[in-house]
Each structure stands twice: as structure tokens, then as C-alpha cells.
């Protein structure tokens, strides 16, 4: 990825941070988008810069279409190009009954997980060069949805469909569009949104028998961002500890 530039949403921690570091180790400069976790974002920047690469940090609310457009413009202005877009930022809440889900929560989850991805792709695609790559973050929840993650799972199903449809449109411009579907991965989102009992058992139902780590997901993004995957588009790559996408 030497000489490439990547825009990564939700790059302050978890999978986003691991991807930023992996890209930097492969030679890319990165722009990291995050909500308001400033110290976490600075930690990501330090890791990227330790690899000798540039890291631009931009805080803001991805549910706002204007902010999505601003990120793309800032990437072009600060780093001069945009080769890889990683739509990773996500919001989830555990609810036991559909009646517990407010309209505000429904709206926020779709605006964070799906609308932001749409607006970023819409702003970025016209500026991306031939050979560019868009990588969306889906989830095993799109295929094996947990009822207590009803809205989150629905957004991930939408991301899978969007990825497949956009891939046929974008390849006409020479840009490949794929998705990574993680299984149970230990990120800050898990203990902050799940009951303690569920977090203790998180990932133990996989064939591998344990939760995954962000660093174990990041290589899939490197593959999909580089020429190694030049014949791959419209695909959803599972990183699930052995659980199948079915």
C-alpha cells in the first residue's frame, strides 16, 4: 500500500484502529474519523506515526451528511488523494423486546451504520482512482441475527445488499467494493453495550471456541485493499472463528 491513502471511520479503537495500523505498516497514510473519543484517537495516531506514516484525525458525527462530505474533502486537501475507503463506524444497543426500541434509537443506528456509509461512498467514489477499493464492515449478524440485536442486525443486512449492488456500479470506474463480516470480536463496543453475563460468554460458541481480536480481522482489510484481491469485488469475507455465513 506504499503511496496509498485510506479514510477509515471509527478508527479510534477496535477494528478501525487495527486496520489503520495494518495499513500504515503496509505503507499507507490514513485519515481517521471518530466521534469524540479524543485520547483514543490520539493513541491510534501515535501507532500510525510510529510506522512512519501520516495520520489525520477528524472528530465529528457521521450521522450528518455534511460531515461525511467534509471528511472526503479533508482527505483530499490534507493527503492529496483517496485510494481506500473503510466504512467501519457502528452503533448498537442490546434490547430484549422490539417494544424497547425507540424511534430515536432506530434512527441513530441506521444513520450511523448505513446512512453514513452511503453518504461517504457517494462523496468518495467520484474522486477515487482506478484500482481504488471500498471496504464496508458487515457482520455475521447479517446472516445469523441475534434477536436482541434486532436493529443492528438489520443494518448489517442492508450493508451486505448495498455492497453487492454498489460493486457492479463502481467497477465500471475501476473501483472494487467488498465487505468484511466479522464474527464475535472483542472491541470496546462489546462491554459498553452488552450485559456482563453475555460478555463473559462472548465468542465461546464459535468452532474456534474463543472471541477474536481486532488484529485478527485487519489482514482481511489489507487483502481487499490491495492488488492481491484484484479479481475480487462484490464479496463478503467472513472472519468469524469458524461460523459460516448462512
Task: Kindly list the catalytic residues.
Answer: 152
Cβ neighbours for 230, distance < 8 A, ≥ 6 positions apart: 176
CB 180 within 8 A of CB 216: no
Owner of C-alpha cell 460458541: 205
The answer for residues whose C-beta is within 8 angstroms of residue 190's C-beta and 6 or more apart is 199, 202
Here the contacts of 17-21 (C-beta below 8 Å, separation 24 or greater) are 17/43, 17/44, 17/47, 17/214, 18/214, 18/215, 18/217, 18/218, 19/86, 19/88, 19/217, 19/218, 19/221, 20/44, 20/47, 20/48, 20/55, 21/47, 21/48, 21/51, 21/218
- Residue given cell 481486532 in the structure block: 214
Provide the residue count of the chain.
246
Q: Which whole-number Å values give the CA distances from 17 to 42, 144, 245, in the listed order?
A: 11, 26, 25
Amino acid at each position: 500500500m506504499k503511496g496509498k491513502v485510506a479514510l477509515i471511520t471509527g478508527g479510534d479503537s477496535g477494528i478501525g484502529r487495527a486496520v489503520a495500523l495494518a495499513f500504515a505498516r503496509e505503507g499507507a497514510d490514513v485519515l481517521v474519523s471518530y466521534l469524540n473519543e479524543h485520547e483514543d484517537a490520539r493513541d491510534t495516531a501515535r501507532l500510525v506515526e510510529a510506522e512512519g506514516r501520516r495520520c489525520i484525525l477528524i472528530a465529528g458525527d457521521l450521522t450528518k451528511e455534511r460531515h461525511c462530505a467534509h471528511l472526503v474533502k479533508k482527505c483530499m486537501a490534507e493527503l492529496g488523494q483517496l485510494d481506500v475507503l473503510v466504512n467501519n463506524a457502528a452503533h448498537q444497543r442490546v434490547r430484549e423486546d422490539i417494544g424497547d426500541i425507540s424511534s430515536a434509537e432506530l434512527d441513530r443506528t441506521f444513520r450511523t451504520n448505513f446512512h453514513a456509509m452511503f453518504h461517504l461512498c457517494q462523496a468518495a467514489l467520484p474522486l477515487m482512482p482506478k484500482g481504488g477499493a471500498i471496504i464496508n464492515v458487515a457482520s455475521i449478524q447479517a446472516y445469523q441475527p441475534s434477536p436482541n440485536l434486532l436493529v443492528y442486525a438489520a443494518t448489517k443486512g442492508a450493508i451486505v445488499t448495498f455492497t453487492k449492488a454498489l460493486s457492479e456500479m463502481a467497477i465500471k470506474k475501476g473501483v472494487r467494493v467488498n465487505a468484511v463480516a466479522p464474527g464475535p470480536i472483542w472491541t470496546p463496543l462489546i462491554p459498553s453495550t452488552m450485559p456482563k453475563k453475555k460478555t463473559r460468554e462472548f465468542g465461546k460458541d464459535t468452532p474456534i471456541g474463543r472471541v477474536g481480536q481486532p488484529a485478527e480481522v485487519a489482514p482481511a482489510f489489507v487483502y481487499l485493499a490491495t492488488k492481491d484481491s484484484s479479481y475480487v469485488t462484490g464479496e463478503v469475507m467472513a472472519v468469524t472463528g469458524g461460523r459460516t455465513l448462512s
